[in-house]
Amino acid sequence: MPLGRLREALRRRAARWRVRPPVGWVRFGSFGRVHPISRAFGFDRGTPIDRYYIERFLDQHASDIRGRVLEVGDDTYTRRFGGERVTQREVLHVVPGNPQATLVGNLETGEGLAGRTYDCLILTQTLHCVYDLRAAVRTVRGLLAPGGVALVTLPGISQISRYDADRWGDYWRLTPLAAHRLFGDVFDHGRIEVRVYGNVQTAAAYLYGLALEDLDRRALEHNDADYPLIICLRVSRGK
């Protein structure tokens, strides 16, 4: 084979290997281990990868964060994305003792939440910690004032949160289809918007406990519905 043709053949083979290495030629590098680099979702390295997607979603729907707003755990996102549009902030926690909580209540049973309504609910990484998801979604609908909006994020591909599991539970990982159907049983389908963030690279990095700062930002821009790291929903109640 002439030298030029040989070089071209080798170049094409190398290009194919970069796309899909042959069996036995995959190099795992820093991922060649059975234990994660971090078990703290990347908090100990920088910004958790899922937070990048969550905050991007909330930023896209910031105009919905207005009026009376209820957020779970703290009011960080209410303040950050709601600003002066918010007239009243409330923070929900499931058990007493959280110094930031203005309200103790249970999304699963509705205990402590009767008679309350809000223009916006911010439920980031919350519902997977509730065993009876259908009951929780019914509670969410009941908490929304007419025309109100719930901004919800759920883990797709994710490790177990040991902190949550040891306290109130960590029960579920959903698919986009399951999330849509779950809310569709309670809300009108036309009032449900589902958005998926993540891809195989960011999902693998997240499972190994890497942080946002470990990644090339270009990898974050590609979203693959078959590898959902985060599932986000905007659901609204009719007026």
Q: Can you tell me the distance from the alpha carbon of 156 to that of 175, in angstroms, rounded to the nearest whole number?
A: 6
Question: What would you report as the CA-atom Rg of the chain, rounded to the nearest whole angstrom?
Answer: 21
Tokens of 105: 């209540």
Q: Is the dihedral angle over the CA atoms 53, 156, 165, 41 positive or is it negative?
A: negative
pLDDT of residue 239: 80
Instruction: Please classify residue 24 by burial: count the beta carbons closer than 10 Å to its beta carbon, then call 0-12 exposed, 13-18 middle and 19+ buried.
Output: exposed
Beta strands in the chain (DSSP E): 67-72, 86-93, 103-104, 118-124, 144-155, 192-197, 230-236
pLDDT digits (tens, 9 = 90+) for 26-43: 888 888 889 999 999 999
Tokens of 94: 């499931």
Asked, for residue 84, whether it belongs to a domain, the answer is: yes
What domain range includes position 142? 61-198+231-236
Q: Can you tell me the distance from the alpha carbon of 37 to that of 35, in angstroms, rounded to the nearest whole number?
A: 7
pLDDT of residue 19: 73
Q: What are phi and psi of 85, to 5 degrees?
A: -70, -20
pLDDT digits (tens, 9 = 90+) for 41-56: 999 999 999 999 999 9
pLDDT of residue 18: 57
Residues 6+ apart with CB under 8 A from 62: 81, 82
Q: Do the strands 144-155 and 230-236 form a parallel or antiparallel pair, or are they unpaired?
A: antiparallel
Q: Can you tell me the distance from the alpha carbon of 86 to that of 107, in angstroms, rounded to the nearest whole number?
A: 22
**pLDDT classification of 20: cutoffs 50, 70, 90:** confident
Asked, for residue 225, whether it belongs to a domain, the answer is: no
Asked, for residue 152, whether it belongs to a domain, the answer is: yes
What CATH number has the domain bearing residue 142? 3.40.50.150
Overall number of domains in the chain:
1
Over pLDDT 90: what percentage of the chain?
82
Residue length of the chain? 239
Select from 239, 186, 206 the least CA-distant residue to 50: 206
Asked, for residue 33, whether it belongs to a domain, the answer is: no
Asked, for residue 159, whether it belongs to a domain, the answer is: yes
Q: Is the pLDDT of residue 151 over 70?
A: yes
Q: What are phi and psi of 31, to 5 degrees?
A: -90, 0
User: What pTM value is reported for the model?
Assistant: 0.90
Asked, for residue 142, whether it belongs to a domain, the answer is: yes
Asked, for residue 97, whether it belongs to a domain, the answer is: yes
Select from 204, 74, 53, 60 the least CA-distant residue to 126: 74
Which residues are 103's β-sheet partners?
A: 92
Q: What are phi and psi of 184, to 5 degrees?
A: -70, -20
Asked, for residue 5, whether it belongs to a domain, the answer is: no
Q: Is the pLDDT of residue 178 over 90?
A: yes
Question: Angle between the 176-184 and 133-143 helix axes, to the nearest 10 degrees?
Answer: 60
